Amino acid sequence: MSNSHPPKRIAIFGSTGSIGTQALDVIGANPESFSVEVLTAHSNEELLIKQAIHFKPNIVVIGDEKKYPKVKEELSSHNIKVFAGESALEEVAAMDVYDLMLAAIVGYAGLKPTL
C-alpha cells in the first residue's frame, strides 16, 4: 500500500538528546512519511552537524552562540540556514516551516519555544 500523502515536516527541538536521537531513528526508518525541516541543539555541535548533514533540514539552531561559527562553517556547503541563541529558538519555533514539533528540550529551557 503506497502512501499518497506528502511527508510530514518535522521540527526537533533538542535533536542531540536521548529523545531527539530516538525520534531521528524513527524518521530515518520512515523517510516516505517524514522529512526533517528543523534541528536544534544546546551545545553538542558535533552531533548536530552530523545530524544536519544526514537529514538535510532547512534550518539548524545551536543554542550556544560560541559554537555558531563552527556549525555555520561545517554546514556552509549544504544549503542549510544556521542560527544561534535562545532568541533564534523562539523565532524558528514561530516560523511556518513544519507540520509537527517535537519539544525534546529538558526543563524550563524548553518551555519558551513551545509556547
How many angstroms separate the CA atoms of 115 and 111, rounded?
7
Give the mean model confidence (pLDDT) for residues 98-104. 94
Average pLDDT taken over every residue of the chain: 91
pLDDT in tens, 52-61: 999 999 999 9
What is the reported pLDDT for 3?
Answer: 58
How many angstroms separate the CA atoms of 56 and 24, rounded?
12
pLDDT in tens, 10-50: 999 999 999 999 999 999 999 999 999 999 999 999 999 99
Global confidence as pTM? 0.90
Q: Describe the crossing of helices 45-55 and 18-29 by its angle, rounded to 10 degrees.
A: 10
Task: Give rounded-to-5 percent helix, strand, coil for the chain.
Answer: 45, 25, 35
How many angstroms separate the CA atoms of 40 and 51, rounded?
10
Question: What CATH number belongs to 8-106?
Answer: 3.40.50.720
